[in-house]
Chain A
């Protein structure tokens, strides 16, 4: 019996100490990276650096990169399309705490909103949807705590390395974080039926000049944009644009249209910087095991997010 008690007390102590250091919203404490109400004044955050001659601050990066892209001539694959192959890492998007502007906390750098349209940087939720999302952090386990995958567009601003591979008619994007991959055809073909919903969505790519444009439908709504609980419904339609503006930097933007929860389309923008570490290889950020132990310990405190934006 003593043994049994020790077994229970020790894990609780370890967990209690770990919780303080965890970047998760739990136990009713509003996370330090919540969006501040409009009019709160300057948001404290660590300064942004520069990449490829542009500030990494999302809105500035967006303008600067698209300006440079007008005159930049990207390398080409043997079939003549821009060559994005190699290893990459996000810039401008510094974390997945909150895609809206948020202050720095004891371990997060804070950050400007990734949303460059609307210009106020706020997700244009319908009022009921904003109210619902406000409850997400306190109600649900963040889906990434259950090892749900980084789906589009979140895969593009996730932590860790990306590898892009191109073959005639295809672009493949592989991520270290959660081991996700995307196989994106660039030849014309219809989308799959709208009754099908996939975590990684159904991607159809095409080249518009030097820009890779990807139309994503059939997404599943069981994932979030960020740790706060910002999300979309399964009717969301994402249009992503990858444009090289420097041999070692890509501009990325994604426009998300979802009339069932947003009042208008919104656009996120940031960039990718090339990882030129000699001999670099993709390893894995495994997220398959272990996390369930945490969920079991505290299973009564939070619910599993099941999508639908309304289902409880």
Chain B
């Protein structure tokens, strides 16, 4: 009897010491990376660098990249489409804490909103949905703590390396983080039936000039866009656009339409920089084991997010 008690005490002590260092909103403490209320004044954050001749700050990068893309001629694959193959890493999107503007904290850099439309950088939630999302961080385990995958569009701003491979009629993305992949056909074919919902969604792509346009439907709603709990419903539709504007930089934007929870479509933008390290290869950020322990210990504190926008 003594041993189990000693074990519990030790474990709880270790957890108590570790929690303050964890990048998770837990135990009732509001995370430092929540969005400050409008009118709070300048948000403290680390400065942004430059890539491909553009500032990495999302809104600036967005305008600058699309301007440069007008005159840029990308390399081509043997079948004549822009060649995006190789290894890439996100720029502009610096973390997945909060896709809206948020201040820097003890281990986060802070960041401007990824949202370039609406111009105020806020997700255009319907009022009930904004109220619901505000409770997410305090109510639920962050789905990534359960090793839920980085689904579109979050895969595009996940930490770690991404690899693009192209074959005639297909584009493939492979991510180190949480080991997800996407198989994207670029030939015309209908979407899956609307009663099917997949974590990675159902992607249908086409080339519009030099831009890869990916239409994503059939999403599941058990994941979040970030750690504070911003999310969408399973009726969300996503249109992603990848445009190379420099041999080593690709502009990314995604427009999300979800009339159930948003008042209007909205668009996020950032970019990918080529990882040109010689001999680089994808390894893995495994997220299969261990995470459940935290949930078992503290399972009364937070609930599992099971989608439906917090049903």
- Interface residues, chain A, CB within 8 Å of chain B? 78, 85, 146-149, 163, 165-167, 170, 172, 174, 179-181, 183, 185, 189, 192, 196, 198-200, 220, 222, 279, 281-284, 286, 288-289, 292, 295-296, 299, 304
CB of B135 to closest CB in A, whole Å: 21
22 pairs of residues in contact across A and B, judged by CB atoms under 8 Å: A146-B292, A149-B179, A165-B165, A167-B165, A172-B172, A174-B181, A181-B174, A181-B179, A183-B281, A185-B281, A189-B281, A192-B283, A196-B283, A198-B283, A198-B286, A222-B289, A281-B183, A283-B196, A286-B198, A288-B146, A292-B146, A292-B304
CB of A4 to closest CB in B, whole Å: 15
Q: Given the complex, which residues of A lie within 8 Å of B170, measured CB to CB?
A: 165
Inter-chain contact B199/A284, CB cutoff 8 Å: yes
- Interface residues, chain B, CB within 8 Å of chain A? 78, 85, 146-149, 163, 165-167, 170, 172, 174, 179-181, 183, 185, 189, 192, 196, 198-200, 222, 279, 281-284, 286, 288-289, 292, 295-296, 299, 304, 306
Inter-chain contact A198/B279, CB cutoff 8 Å: no
Q: Given the complex, which residues of A lie within 8 Å of B198, measured CB to CB?
A: 283-284, 286
Inter-chain contact B167/A148, CB cutoff 8 Å: no
Inter-chain contact A289/B146, CB cutoff 8 Å: yes
Q: Given the complex, which residues of A lie within 8 Å of B284, measured CB to CB?
A: 198-200
Docked pose: A304 CA to B293 CA in angstroms: 11
Closest to B289 in A: A222
Inter-chain contact B167/A85, CB cutoff 8 Å: yes
Q: Given the complex, which residues of A lie within 8 Å of B179, measured CB to CB?
A: 149, 179-181, 199-200
Asked, given contacts A183-B174, A292-B146, whether A147 binds B199 with beta carbons under 8 Å apart, the answer is: no
Docked pose: A199 CA to B290 CA in angstroms: 14
Docked pose: A73 CA to B127 CA in angstroms: 65
CB of B140 to closest CB in A, whole Å: 13
Docked pose: A260 CA to B247 CA in angstroms: 49
Q: Which of A163, A166, A198, A286 contacts B183 (CB 8 A)?
A: A163
Asked, given contacts A165-B172, A192-B283, A288-B199, whether A295 binds B146 with beta carbons under 8 Å apart, the answer is: no
Docked pose: A163 CA to B146 CA in angstroms: 27
Q: Given the complex, which residues of A lie within 8 Å of B185, measured CB to CB?
A: 281
Inter-chain contact B289/A289, CB cutoff 8 Å: no
Q: Given the complex, which residues of B lie within 8 Å of A295, measured CB to CB?
A: 292
Docked pose: A128 CA to B169 CA in angstroms: 52
Docked pose: A165 CA to B167 CA in angstroms: 7
Q: Given the complex, which residues of B lie within 8 Å of A281, measured CB to CB?
A: 183, 185, 189
Closest to A200 in B: B284
Inter-chain contact B148/A167, CB cutoff 8 Å: no
CB of B196 to closest CB in A, whole Å: 8
Asked, given contacts A179-B180, A179-B200, A288-B149, whether A189 binds B167 with beta carbons under 8 Å apart, the answer is: no
Q: Given the complex, which residues of A lie within 8 Å of B189, measured CB to CB?
A: 279, 281
Docked pose: A47 CA to B147 CA in angstroms: 40
Closest to B201 in A: A284
CB of A235 to closest CB in B, whole Å: 19
CB of B85 to closest CB in A, whole Å: 7
CB of A210 to closest CB in B, whole Å: 21
Q: Given the complex, which residues of A lie within 8 Å of B163, measured CB to CB?
A: 183
Asked, given contacts A163-B183, A167-B165, A179-B181, whether A199 binds B199 with beta carbons under 8 Å apart, the answer is: no
Q: Given the complex, which residues of A lie within 8 Å of B166, measured CB to CB?
A: 167
Closest to A284 in B: B198
CB of B77 to closest CB in A, whole Å: 10
Docked pose: A292 CA to B145 CA in angstroms: 13
Inter-chain contact A170/B283, CB cutoff 8 Å: no
Closest to B175 in A: A181
Q: Which of A146, A165, A189, A304 contacts B279 (CB 8 A)?
A: A189
CB of A182 to closest CB in B, whole Å: 9
Closest to A163 in B: B183
CB of A120 to closest CB in B, whole Å: 34
Q: Given the complex, which residues of B lie within 8 Å of A296, measured CB to CB?
A: 296, 299
Docked pose: A185 CA to B198 CA in angstroms: 29
Q: Given the complex, which residues of A lie within 8 Å of B304, measured CB to CB?
A: 292
Docked pose: A196 CA to B181 CA in angstroms: 22
Docked pose: A189 CA to B282 CA in angstroms: 14
Closest to A279 in B: B189
Residue from A189, A199, A220, A289 with most neighbouring chain B CB atoms (10 Å): A289
Q: Given the complex, which residues of B lie within 8 Å of A165, measured CB to CB?
A: 165, 167, 170, 172
Q: Given the complex, which residues of A lie within 8 Å of B149, measured CB to CB?
A: 179, 288
Q: Given the complex, which residues of B lie within 8 Å of A163, measured CB to CB?
A: 183
Q: Given the complex, which residues of A lie within 8 Å of B222, measured CB to CB?
A: 289
Inter-chain contact B181/A181, CB cutoff 8 Å: yes
Closest to B222 in A: A289
Docked pose: A281 CA to B192 CA in angstroms: 10
Inter-chain contact B296/A299, CB cutoff 8 Å: yes
Q: Given the complex, which residues of B lie within 8 Å of A189, measured CB to CB?
A: 279, 281
Docked pose: A78 CA to B77 CA in angstroms: 13
CB of A96 to closest CB in B, whole Å: 17
CB of B120 to closest CB in A, whole Å: 34
Contacts A179-B200, A296-B296 supplied; 19 other A-B pairs, CB < 8 Å: A146-B289, A146-B292, A147-B147, A149-B288, A163-B183, A165-B172, A172-B165, A174-B181, A179-B180, A179-B199, A180-B179, A192-B283, A196-B283, A198-B283, A220-B286, A283-B198, A286-B198, A288-B199, A299-B296
